Amino acid sequence: MSLTFRTDLFIGGQWRPASNGARFPVLDPANGEVIEQVADASPEDGQDALRAADAAQREWAATAPRVRAEILRRAFEIVTARADEFAETITREMGKPLAEARAEVKYGAEFLRWFSEEAPRISGRYSTAPDAGSRLLVLRRPVGPCLFITPWNFPLAMATRKIAPALAAGCTSILKPAAQTPLTALLFAEVLQQAGVPAGVVNVIPTQQAGAVTGPLIGSDKLRKLSFTGSTAVGKQLIKSAADQVLRVSMELGGNAPFIVFEDADLDAAVEGALVAKLRNGGEACVAANRILVHESVAERFSTALTERMGKNVAGHGLDTRTTIGPLIDKGTRDKVNDLVVEAVADGATVTVGGTVPDGEGWFYPPTVLVDVPSTSRILKEEIFGPVAPIITFSSEQEAVDLANATEYGLVCFAYTRDLDRTLRLAESLETGMLGINTGIVSNPAAPFGGVKQSGIGREGGFEGIDEYLETVYVGIAGPSAPK
Ligand code: NAD
């Protein structure tokens, strides 16, 4: 594939090389080939990006909401028109099959459309104080320049989920994409420029030195907000660094999603749902089903069916249309997945399909099902981030809820049941930011995405998504005097 877009830094509306001329390679995880060399931002480039965002902030905040909305709408239309180019770029640098990359482009673009519709609806309120002595005016203003740090697993959607609401609210930003997947972010920067985003309003700085470049920005009093999507370990460090400036933070962190199959579930639907919840993005998703909890009365039927379906996948390069599962992102990720499986087997689990690292190029790992996994096994405690489904059984609803909640994470739970009372009990007792009932996928631009406990702070998407980029300002006004 020959790239049609720029691979330099995008700062202040200009495409320019890194100040020290450095570049770094972007690799295809299916074969290790270098796709492209990308400019490698230095800490000085980071400072330039913050200066550009700061300089553009006042004018962007004063731009009419309708104008901001129309720019976002144009960006949605351009991403949609260039969907094939986006999908191919995502597949090349991240590895997911083309059909899934297309689904990400659709999902990612939808945030631009959703927030184009929200931009003109930012409102405040006016009320009378309880003693009628004054009037309370509450308005909402853009928070100011934001820093966005995104992961490699959804290179477009993780960027649009932050940039779209920020633009809608009137905030400027700097995006630091993951070093594994900077190409999609650069293509998106080009789209924003085409759509009419003014110079400096969005800046994109790929770098291999994430900490060295973002640290000084987080420490600067010019920055007003940090939004991070990535691992809980890095998120915790960033929250600590953000404390010095009491910076507003949004954190979309790791998950350990339980996928619960109750005895009254439609079992065929549950198997289909588990496949989606487990294999979407090759399991490299924060919302991936990490622990499959199945009622003991249906466990054998469920495991047999899931094993059969998991075994039917075709591994290969994502651009090959026969491929249903691509490689993992890198060697470290594959080694971790394999180690978790090896350890679970040593603990007493049984592999019913998959479970071995294949020979050959690329970071492939086969869809794998584990049964009889002991509850103490590490694979049930950590985010697997690969196509491995550990199954454990339960005998009562309370036991299922207790098992589901026995984790420091709280991003999403999935449950299959036909009982409405049970659904309501689950909604009120599971420690989670999101709950999918009879579905293996909850992500929706119109819904508030985010976690509780160590899965994060804040929400992206929905009506709530724009709140992350707005400050509340209260004005107390003396009550009117009687007419003369
Ligand atoms: P990661 O934490 O290693 O990296 C995420 C981003 O942080 C990358 O851009 C990376 O370059 C940057 N980074 C790393 N160290 C940094 C530092 N010291 N200072 C500043 N930036 C730093 O995560 P990853 O491996 O890229 O992504 C996978 C993780 O992301 C998983 O844990 C997954 O659950 C999580 N994730 C969460 C959500 C969500 O919405 N909750 C969505 C997608 C992914």
Name the residue ranges covered by the structural domains of the chain: 9-253+455-473, 257-437
Tokens of 329: 């992102």
CA pair distance 38, 421, nearest whole angstrom:
54
Cα dihedral angle (297, 298, 303, 308), rounded to 10 degrees?
Answer: 150
First to last CA, the chain: 77
Which of 61, 11, 76, 12 lies closest to 171 in space, CA to CA?
A: 61
Q: Torsion angle of alpha carbons 444, 450, 455, 456, nearest 10°?
A: 150
- CA-to-CA distance for 411 and 428, rounded, in angstroms? 15
From the list 106, 103, 112, 111, the residue with the least C-alpha distance to 74 is 112
Asked if 451 contacts 109 with a C-beta cutoff of 8 angstroms, the reply is no
* Cα–Cα distance, 95 to 152 (Å, whole number): 10
Q: Look up 471 and say whether it is catalytic.
A: no
Task: Please give the distance, rounded to the nearest whole angstrom, from the Cα atom of residue 151 to the centre of ligand 1.
Answer: 5
pLDDT of residue 1: 58
Annotated active-site residue 252? The verdict is yes
Q: Which of 300, 411, 390 is nearest to 343 (CA)?
A: 390
Question: What's the rounded Cα separation, in Å, for the pair 225 and 90?
Answer: 27
Q: Within 10 Å of residue 4's Cβ, how many Cβ atoms?
A: 10
256 in contact with ligand 1, CB cutoff 6 A: no
* Pocket-testing residue among 38, 234, 236, ligand 1, by greatest number of atoms within 8 A of Cβ: 234
Q: Do domains 9-253+455-473 and 257-437 have the same CATH topology?
A: no
Can you tell me the distance from the alpha carbon of 87 to that of 92, in angstroms, rounded to the nearest whole number?
A: 9
pLDDT, position 129: 97
Q: What is the CATH number of domain 9-253+455-473?
A: 3.40.605.10
The segments of the chain whose pLDDT lies below 50 read none
Using CB atoms within 10 Å of the CB of residue 293, give its burial: 0 to 12 exposed, 13 to 18 middle, 19+ buried: buried
The rounded distance, in Å, linking the Cα atoms of 122 and 119 is 6
For residue 286 and ligand 1, the question of a CB distance below 6 A is answered with yes
> Residue 84 has which token pair?
């094939």
Q: What is the number of the ligand 1 atom nearest to the C-alpha of 385?
A: 31
- 426 touches 386 (CB < 8 A): no
Q: Give the tokens for residue 21.
A: 């001329």
Q: Atom 40 (ligand 1): residue with closest C-alpha? A: 252
**Cβ neighbours of 82 (radius 10 Å):** 20
Domain 257-437: give its CATH code.
Answer: 3.40.309.10
Our answer on whether the CB atom of 155 is closer than 6 Å to any ligand 1 atom is: no
Q: What pLDDT, on the 0 to 100 scale, is given for residue 4?
A: 85
**By the 8 A CB rule, do 355 and 366 touch?**
yes
Ligand 1 within 6 A of CB of 467: no
Contacts for 179 with CB less than 8 Å, ≥ 6 apart = 24, 152, 206, 207, 208, 210
Q: Which residue has the tokens 């075709």?
A: 314
C-alpha atoms less than 13 angstroms from C-alpha of 220 in its C-beta half-sphere: 22
Local structure of 194: helix, strand or coil: helix
- As a whole number of angstroms, the distance between CA 28 and CA 319 comes to 11
Distance between CA atoms of residues 66 and 57, nearest Å: 17
* pLDDT value, residue 222: 98
Instruction: Using only the alpha carbons of the chain, give its radius of gyration.
Output: 24
**Which residues make Cβ contacts (< 8 Å) with residue 246, sequence separation at least 6?**
none
Q: Is residue 454 classed as helix, strand or coil in its secondary structure?
A: helix
Spatial neighbors of 214 by CB under 8 A, at least 6 apart, are 46, 147, 149, 176
**Burial of 419 per CB tally in 10 Å (0-12, 13-18, 19+):** middle
- The CA distance from 167 to 150, in Å, is 17
What backbone phi and psi angles, to 5 degrees, belong to 374? -65, 145
Catalytic residue among 100, 252, 284, 383: 252
Indicate the top mutation candidate among 90, 213, 229, 407 to test ligand 1's pocket, ranked by most ligand atoms within 8 A of CB. Answer: 229
Structure tokens at 475: 């004005």
Bridge partners of residue 9, in order along the sequence: 16
